[in-house]
Amino acid sequence: MALTDKQVLFAQEYIVDLNAGAAAIRAGYSEKTAYEMGYENLRKPQIAELIQQMMDERSKRTEITADMVLKEYAKIGFSNITDYLKVEQKEMATESGNIVTYKTVDIFETDMIDRHKLDAVAEIRQTKEGIALKLHDKKGALDSIARHLGMFNDSLKVDATVTKKLEEFFS
């Protein structure tokens, strides 16, 4: 069975943001039924196959692969602040002879850091207190990697017993 124009448009819209409900609305489905229709469309083998084909074509066109994206996430997810700076504990004698312990933080010169590790750096800036170093969201990257590897089960399981007929609610 051939796909309808609306189903093809749904597939085109779905690959924009991977949001089935929003794609259904943009494809012209009623807002009242869009989320249900989006879900149903994703379960239809012909539509799922078309979506996969479109995503594969886009991947070839942009030359971006899942492996490339996963490697970028890994750079962020497995980054460590000690790759960029060194914290040392030092001691100093005060005028009264007491020993005071303090810590120093030295940021490594960027040309001394592996270029791939620099990809995890979101920002380096000068502040009143010194230099601030901010890394990209490590937890977000690790969550994305874990989701890709199937480590999370994002489905919601509903276990319920229906005791009334639908008609009883409307009478």
pLDDT score of 169 more than 70: no
**pLDDT reported for residue 6:** 94
| Dihedral pair phi/psi, residue 168, rounded to 5° | -65, -30
Residues 6 or more apart in contact with residue 88 via CB below 8 angstroms: 103, 104, 106
Report which of 36, 117, 108 is spatially closest to residue 75, judged by C-alpha positions.
117
pLDDT in tens, 31-59: 999 999 999 999 999 999 999 999 989 88
Would you place residue 29 in the very low, low, confident or very high pLDDT band (cuts 50, 70, 90)? very high
Set out the domains of the chain in order of their start, with CATH numbers: 5-63 (1.10.10.1400), 76-145 (no CATH)
Termini Cα distance of the chain: 41
pLDDT score of 158 more than 90: no
**pLDDT reported for residue 120:** 93
Instruction: Return d(Cα 71, Cα 84) in angstroms, integer.
Output: 19
pLDDT in tens, 69-101: 999 999 999 999 999 999 999 999 999 989 999
pLDDT in tens, 109-146: 888 898 889 999 999 899 998 888 899 999 999 999 99
pLDDT score of 167 more than 80: no
